Structure 1
Amino acid sequence: MLNRSLSTFMNAFTASDYTMYPFSTQNSTDFQNLLSVYLDAVFFPCLREQDFWQEGWRLENENPTDPNTPLVFKGVVFNEMKGVFSDNERLYAQHLQNKLYPDHTYSVVSGGEPLSIPDLTWEQLKQFHATHYHPSNARFFTYGDLPLEQHLKQIEEDALSKFERINPNTEVPSQPYWTSPREDHVTCSPDVLAPDPARQNTLCVSYLLGDVTDTFEGFTLSLLSSLMISGPNSPFYKALIEPKIGTDFSSVVGYDGSTKEASFSIGLQGMAEEDTERVKQIISTTIDDIIEKGFEEERIEALLHKIEIQMKHQSTSFGLSLASYIASLWNHDGDPVELLQISDSVARFRQALKENPHFLQDKVKQYFKENTHRLTLSMSPDEAYLEKQAKTEEEKLQEKIQALTDSDRKDIYEKGLELLAAQSKTQDASSLPALKVSDIEPTIPITPVHISTAGGVPVQYCEQPTNGLVYFRAMCSLNTLPEDLRLYVPLFCSVITKMGCGPLDYRQQAQQMDLRTGGMSVSTQVIPDSTQLDAYEQAVLLFSSCLERNLPHMFQLWSDIFNSPRLDDEERLKVLVMMSAQELANGISYSGHMYAMTRAGRHLTPAGDLQEAFGGMEQMDHVPGKLLAHHTEMRALYRCAINTTPQKMSDAATQLESFMKEVAGNRKERKPIRSNIIEVRIQQAEYLSCRLDLNFHPCQMKTFFQMPFPVNFVSKSIRTVPFTHEDYASLCILARMMTAKFLHGEIREKGGAYGGGARMGGGGLFSFYSYRDPNSVQTLSAFYKGIDWAKSGQFTQQDIDEAKLAVFAAVDSPVAPADKGMGPFLSGVTDHMKQSHRERLFAVSHKNLVDVAERYLSAGQRTHAAAILGPENETIKKDPSWVFM
């Protein structure tokens, strides 16, 4: 359906005790189409045995066409769950939940313990579906501006009317309460990316709280959790993070209301084994301190202010967020409407605090000090962990194989061939409803913006219905930054708003930011030029939001950060650097395909090279040193943008003007730029300042990163054309069509990877990728086959139209009021340029697609590079064209 719809979201989520099937679209016909398909897929799936083999698990010859190759486990979900548990954070979280609720459904892995998956049979799966995925066990949620009656009629006719009511018997019982605390220990694989290899232990104390259906108690405990752990003013941050005992809080931290009974967890990761008792003692002492001292009134106000902003801020996924927010409570028969009445909970909370100033301290005493249902779980690395996992899997495999007769083996081989044949066939999707390309709007709505200046700097004003919020952005150029400092920019961005500024130390600064803003962030920006591949802009983006009444306060905070940041607190910096390094290390197993694509792109364009330096694998093994003395290099503000309501715009402009005057004294004159870099201006967006790097030479490069997990993330990137080139639209359509019509089948269905495909990036790179993939060389070969398939032209007009629908779904995805008009400001892409691109997308033909595949993707036509993150690989080791990192 992704290729037959203009959906803005389509997926399915597995929680610990429910599955959610959400979709969204802005087109009413499409909504009805998707609803009919979702109702059919959820309540009347085919669940053929072949589907079970492909998606679940199967025994199959390593090479399905050769019966003499060894039998191995295969299956999409089997491989996915192996990938999931290669992430130590995820592994720890799973153990913690299983052991805190040991007596019923939460004691098992809802997504499937990898080595238990081969015990599941097709019959069990069908039986499970018949009882659990039944309308008697379902809840329906719709959000939007379409009339409700039509949805109800369709749900009744397509699903409910075809079933008799049953008792699915799926209530989750309460966890029997422990009379004394428990301790446990688990092991994991060592992390080669750990900031300090000698400190890889995790310890966490987890408490069982009340039933999530008690809305007000849940609200109070969630708020209490934030007061205890969020930000540098919280007691646990001061007690656990600042002494640098560990690198960060444990992967599970704070209030969790996703199970029938909520829990609260607190602990550390990245600590030494000998600190275990010390950390337990600190947690206990901190709870005593909170009971004795309570919380400052200003911190409680800051938190309530945060809730007010969250209620006013409009995101494009608001409906989906609401569905996720109520799902757990509603699933356990709580009242979802009551949960959504947040203002009532805030008023009741204020009243409770007024009547009893010790209200929160009493809760801490009840739920933490006197709570005997608490689990202390530690985790340490075991050098032989992966070896043991592989051995257990091998034993399981041998156990299955030894039970086979010759007839079974023959059957497995034949079924493997049958599956391969089915996977190689083009599926008949004619029964699925589809939109037509003619259903797509031919033009985009123009977002009116007003360009003016403040303090001599260009400012973009965009009037939007922002619900009483003001959104501010500013760019600081990095064009004069010396080359040797660029690796430090991401770290600089992550710490500059957390070190203190002006009269405020870092604790006071954090408090003021919570009280007066919706958050203040600084991030790196690499903006490829839309007209040429070797030009780009490098900048730092400042972003913040606030309620209209707090505008002067927000600008005062930025002014202090610009004029007098407190950059000399080395101890504070060490804490932030440590947390930043831990975050980077934890990110790879979630987003390995993004790291692989970024790495492959570094050798192809100067913007790709900088992307890798700012946010790729290069950041991983980079130890920060000289950083903050160069703050002045990064504070030349050279364009700003404000989105707010028409009523507030003139006030915002006045405030911005005075802010610009305050920071103007610090703006440096631009240094002359080295001769190899030429300033170029993009005509359509006058205030962009790009640099053309004449010294960059694209080159072929293949890089392999050996990682401590059993799955691969593979990418191959090809240098093609920039956004405004006439062939860019054809490459976008081709990437989408190759993904749906060829690569999905090769990489997921045949290869068993969790995902894979191709995408065309704004920086002119055409990238192939795979995600949680049991293969690497086979996948690279699939990428090449995909190019041959495209060149052969073996696709229909229907395939092209479907790819266009999928591309337009992304192009026309909804934009929140905060982000309207940001195309020209952030990337120099104006509405006029978007409209030209749109017209080229509509015009893409069969001939164009074959032509661009031949011209840009063919071997020898363009410079390309590859990257793999994955386990040790003998085949690639023997290939001298690969560089090992």
Structure 2
Amino acid sequence: MKGAFADSERVFSQHLQNQLLPDHTYAAVSGGAPLCIPDLTWEQLRQFHAKHYHPSNARFFTYGNFPLEEHLKQIHEEALSKFQKIEPNTAVPPQQRWEKPRECQISCAPDALAAGSPRQTTVSVSFLLPDITDTSEAFTLNLLSSLLVSGPSAPFYKALIESGLGSDFSPDVGYNGHTRDAYFSVGLQGVAETDVPRVRDIIDRTLDDVIAKGFEDDQIEALLHKIEIQMKHQSVSFGLALTSYIASCWNHDGDPVELLKLGGQVAQFRRRLEENPEFLQEKVKQYFKMTCPGPPAFPCPFFLGLQLQTQQSEAQDASCLPALKVSDIEPSTPCTELEVALAAGDVAVQSCVQPTNGVAYVRAFCSLPALPAELRPYVPLLCRVLTKLGCGVLDYREQAQQIELKTGGITVSPHVLPDSSHLDTYEQGVLFSSFCLDRNLQDMMHLWGEIFNSPRFEEEQYFRVLVKMAAQDLSNGVPDSGHLYASIRASRTLTPAGDLQETFSGMEQVPGGGDAGCSGSVGSPRVALRKAPCRSVTDRHSWGGTAHPHRTMLTREAPVGTGRLRSACGVTCGSVSCSRERDAPHLPPQDPTFKPCPAKTHLLLPFPVSYVGDCVRTAPYTHPDHASLKILARLMTAKFLHTEIREKGGAYGGGAKLSHSGVFTFYSYRDPCPAETLQTFAKASGWAQSGQFSQQDIDEAKLAVFSTVDAPVAPSDKGLDHFLYGLTDEMGQAQREQLFAVHRGALIDVAHRYLGVGGSAHGLALLGPENARTASDPSWVIQ
């Protein structure tokens, strides 16, 4: 929990829930308050587990086309029949309503990446709402919440975000339906303490305005369209998403089946709105008419730690657990049928027919082969604002509304695509992604064309609002993704693609997380706001000649004729000239003189925990060693690194992984002992080279790797690897056979050649507080 509370947003959210619902279980920290955890006794833990983790206190959920009777029989035989029914008495009573509003002020660590800024306050106003088991009212209030805060046309977005008083919404903004009594919160973070009364006044006035004026019909219709497309959109986590959606209501004895009848709830909502045009205003009146500086110390009893360490070092008997065999894995997988045609501008269009439930998915990759080096840091910022500034005749509010009315969203993101066969070649560019109901395909493509060919970059003031929000979002994301940032930084000196990845999505993009002194690099949004006016980032002449659609991917339920395919995709790219040869999807590196070299970097950040990345240059996807390295990474994680880093070292997580680009990465997450972890990485390499693992260990690693290789693929993503990386089914089958063929000798061999002393180039990166080891070692660069 020490790592969890390194995040000020998490601290704020936890206290908000504790103070808003103080009379029962929600007044406590579910994972344990750090100062109280050492006081927990074994007997208390055992009693709590016996009561709360009992089948009498459980809900069973199955998803898929499996025989229900067999599942019920298995549940009875393996669980229910082995227990006696008890009364756990875990029902949560309603929170007693207060007679008058309450106010609470808490203190936490300042923004680690905005040290010295006077705007360090977060203010939020929250309203307790009805019991979530009232599914009809919960549906209405969830919709009302979205109308109030989501998108640039929402009242609170206009009043708070565009006021300039803060950098972004406060944590937990909007409707929260995970507790028995739902609640709605709205506020700002990045606020000067003197502006807190102004923020509260704006919230009150905005609610009064909504009660007086209501919402535009198009806003409501856009939100209902969003629900419709969400019901049709399929993903590989659809079953888990359903579980998450119904869990809270069901756990509080609500009706999960009623909750899933979204179509009926939408119809009922429409009827209520037709019968009473002021229905939503009355709900606002009914429910809505009525700050964060050092972290504490966390003691740990050392003698208990020694006892635990002894137990952790003992071999575990896993023979009682059910297990698959490698022979159970299918030797091959079905192929994906793809068609390629040429649209206007000679752009290659890949089409794939899939059961998409009436939804069309479109992606376009715009290659940037000759992008000037000085513009590269601004690509992520351009991607963040490109779909939000307006286009054609639409201002940014009208554009946002059209996107919600006609699509399931339009996203733009920078990509570095490594070559499957060469470590030093890659493709850089921008990926456009969107989806819509089939009937709206032409409208969505028209929007794409307007965004791409006629963006509106005149709104410099709103551009600055978007930049501040981007900066705050990036800063907030570091505590949850620090291991990824460390890994990206560690790999930057190993391959040209890794160097560019740091520019596009590494700490260079984070305010205060760039080069020496942590003052922010040229590409960070906050520095862009200070040093680069809107027109220098979004000037079309700077990008024209470099950005053009290179290829497009369309996935839908029904086949699309070549003519219609050209028409749909030509809307986007018809006016853009295209002259580059397309014989190969990847390009040579921008700097042909690039040489891999070792590097060690410690980025000083005032967190109580650290994040570590240790990267090694190994072999690309098509190289025979790639399969062995992939199995080795999983083997080292399960049989060595997890035990040493997580169980003994106390980090939240740690392990090894191999990227498609051929970079082998050791990492740790929320790590209280980074110096020891670096030693553990070296020990892990020695462990692998000495072959201290069994054939069963290898088989388990293969099963884990194949569980990822054979993970379900959403219909919308079929053919995506071919579209982005040029990977064919034949290439996938070749690696599948290589994975099957991996043996003990091959694992030891690649461990020696790539991970041993004097092997491939290493890059190390550490994000976190000062560290005696790095401070005393001149080979480390401290930033």
CA distance in 1, matches of 2:744, 2:567: 54
Match for 2:351 among 432, 456, 461? 461
Match for 1:512 among 402, 409, 419? 402
Structure 2 residue aligned with 1:470 = 360
> Structure 2 unaligned runs (5+)?
511-519
Instruction: Pick closer, same or farther for the CA change 1:95–1:177 going to 2, 3 Å.
Output: same
Structure 2 residue aligned with 1:666 = 576
Measured after TM superposition, the shift of residue 420 of structure 1 is 3.1
Measured after TM superposition, the shift of residue 308 of structure 1 is 0.3
The answer as to whether partners of 1:823 and 1:831 remain within 8 angstroms in 2 is no
Structure 1 residue aligned with 2:507 = 617
RMSD of the TM alignment (CA)?
1.6
Structure 1 residue aligned with 2:338 = 449
Asked if 1:422 is matched to 2:334, the reply is no
Match for 1:821 among 705, 719, 722? 719
1:594-640 Cα distance to aligned partner (Å, 9 max, x none): 01100100010000111110001011123112311134255311111
The answer as to whether partners of 1:535 and 1:693 remain within 8 angstroms in 2 is no
* Residue aligned with 1:499, SS: coil
Structure 1 residue aligned with 2:20 = 100
One-letter identity of the residue aligned with 1:429: A
* Residue aligned with 1:284, SS: helix
Q: How does 1:794-873 map to 2 (within 5 A)?
A: 794-873=692-771
1:135-174 Cα distance to aligned partner (Å, 9 max, x none): 1111100001111111111111111112222111111011
Structure 2 residue aligned with 1:342 = 262
Measured after TM superposition, the shift of residue 256 of structure 1 is 0.5
Output the TM-score relative to the length of structure 1.
0.84
The answer as to whether partners of 2:365 and 2:551 remain within 8 angstroms in 1 is yes
Structure 1 residue aligned with 2:439 = 549
One-letter identity of the residue aligned with 2:418: P
1:181-219 Cα distance to aligned partner (Å, 9 max, x none): 111111111123139822111000000000000001000
The answer as to whether partners of 1:551 and 1:652 remain within 8 angstroms in 2 is no
Q: How does 1:477-626 map to 2 (within 5 A)?
A: 477-620=367-510, 621=520, 622=524, 623-624=527-528, 625=532, 626=536
One-letter identity of the residue aligned with 1:732: K
Structure 1 residue aligned with 2:538 = 628
Measured after TM superposition, the shift of residue 656 of structure 1 is 2.1
Measured after TM superposition, the shift of residue 652 of structure 1 is 5.0
* Residue aligned with 1:627, SS: helix
Instruction: Pick closer, same or farther for the CA change 1:137–1:550 going to 2, 3 Å.
Output: same
In terms of mean alpha carbon deviation, does 693-702 or 478-487 score higher?
693-702
Instruction: Pick closer, same or farther for the CA change 1:698–1:505 going to 2, 3 Å.
Output: same
1:741-779 Cα distance to aligned partner (Å, 9 max, x none): 111111112111111000011111110001111111100
CA distance in 1, matches of 2:269, 2:242: 22
One-letter identity of the residue aligned with 2:357: N
Measured after TM superposition, the shift of residue 666 of structure 1 is 3.4
Match for 2:120 among 168, 185, 200? 200
Instruction: Pick closer, same or farther for the CA change 1:189–1:633 going to 2, 3 Å.
Output: farther
Structure 1 residue aligned with 2:568 = 656
Measured after TM superposition, the shift of residue 84 of structure 1 is 0.5
The answer as to whether partners of 1:499 and 1:506 remain within 8 angstroms in 2 is yes
CA distance in 1, matches of 2:116, 2:145: 29
CA distance in 1, matches of 2:104, 2:50: 37
Structure 1 residue aligned with 2:203 = 283
Asked if 1:641 is matched to 2:553, the reply is yes
CA distance in 2, matches of 1:554, 1:605: 38
Match for 1:113 among 11, 23, 33? 33
Instruction: Pick closer, same or farther for the CA change 1:244–1:102 going to 2, 3 Å.
Output: same
Structure 1 residue aligned with 2:513 = none
* Residue aligned with 1:270, SS: strand
CA distance in 2, matches of 1:308, 1:435: 40
CA distance in 2, matches of 1:718, 1:506: 45
Output the TM-score relative to the length of structure 2.
0.95
* Residue aligned with 2:778, SS: coil
Instruction: Pick closer, same or farther for the CA change 1:692–1:235 going to 2, 3 Å.
Output: closer
The answer as to whether partners of 2:424 and 2:588 remain within 8 angstroms in 1 is no
The answer as to whether partners of 2:390 and 2:397 remain within 8 angstroms in 1 is yes
Measured after TM superposition, the shift of residue 810 of structure 1 is 0.5
The answer as to whether partners of 2:548 and 2:577 remain within 8 angstroms in 1 is yes
Structure 1 residue aligned with 2:91 = 171
One-letter identity of the residue aligned with 2:40: L
CA distance in 2, matches of 1:601, 1:225: 42
The answer as to whether partners of 1:174 and 1:261 remain within 8 angstroms in 2 is yes
Measured after TM superposition, the shift of residue 480 of structure 1 is 1.1
The answer as to whether partners of 1:534 and 1:692 remain within 8 angstroms in 2 is no
One-letter identity of the residue aligned with 1:236: F
CA distance in 2, matches of 1:133, 1:695: 60
The answer as to whether partners of 1:202 and 1:269 remain within 8 angstroms in 2 is yes
CA distance in 2, matches of 1:729, 1:809: 14
CA distance in 1, matches of 2:185, 2:310: 50
Measured after TM superposition, the shift of residue 689 of structure 1 is 4.5
* Residue aligned with 2:594, SS: coil
Q: How does 1:208-357 map to 2 (within 5 A)?
A: 208-357=128-277
Measured after TM superposition, the shift of residue 348 of structure 1 is 0.3
CA distance in 1, matches of 2:717, 2:552: 13
One-letter identity of the residue aligned with 1:656: A
Measured after TM superposition, the shift of residue 681 of structure 1 is 5.1
CA distance in 1, matches of 2:656, 2:377: 29
Q: How many matched pairs?
A: 760
The answer as to whether partners of 1:680 and 1:691 remain within 8 angstroms in 2 is no
One-letter identity of the residue aligned with 1:589: P
One-letter identity of the residue aligned with 1:825: F
CA distance in 2, matches of 1:212, 1:201: 31
CA distance in 2, matches of 1:197, 1:836: 55
Instruction: Pick closer, same or farther for the CA change 1:518–1:864 going to 2, 3 Å.
Output: same
Structure 1 residue aligned with 2:517 = none
Measured after TM superposition, the shift of residue 698 of structure 1 is 1.0
The answer as to whether partners of 2:369 and 2:546 remain within 8 angstroms in 1 is no
Measured after TM superposition, the shift of residue 665 of structure 1 is 3.1
The answer as to whether partners of 1:747 and 1:756 remain within 8 angstroms in 2 is yes
Match for 2:596 among 681, 694, 698? 698
Measured after TM superposition, the shift of residue 464 of structure 1 is 0.7
* Residue aligned with 1:781, SS: helix
The answer as to whether partners of 1:751 and 1:774 remain within 8 angstroms in 2 is yes
Measured after TM superposition, the shift of residue 690 of structure 1 is 5.1
Measured after TM superposition, the shift of residue 812 of structure 1 is 0.7
CA distance in 2, matches of 1:525, 1:756: 26
The answer as to whether partners of 1:250 and 1:269 remain within 8 angstroms in 2 is yes
> Structure 1 unaligned runs (5+)?
1-80, 372-378, 401-411, 671-678
Measured after TM superposition, the shift of residue 832 of structure 1 is 1.0
The answer as to whether partners of 1:312 and 1:467 remain within 8 angstroms in 2 is yes
The answer as to whether partners of 2:425 and 2:586 remain within 8 angstroms in 1 is no
1:762-798 Cα distance to aligned partner (Å, 9 max, x none): 1111100011111111000000000000000111111
Measured after TM superposition, the shift of residue 280 of structure 1 is 0.5
The answer as to whether partners of 1:680 and 1:692 remain within 8 angstroms in 2 is no
* Residue aligned with 1:646, SS: coil
One-letter identity of the residue aligned with 1:343: G
Match for 2:58 among 126, 130, 138? 138
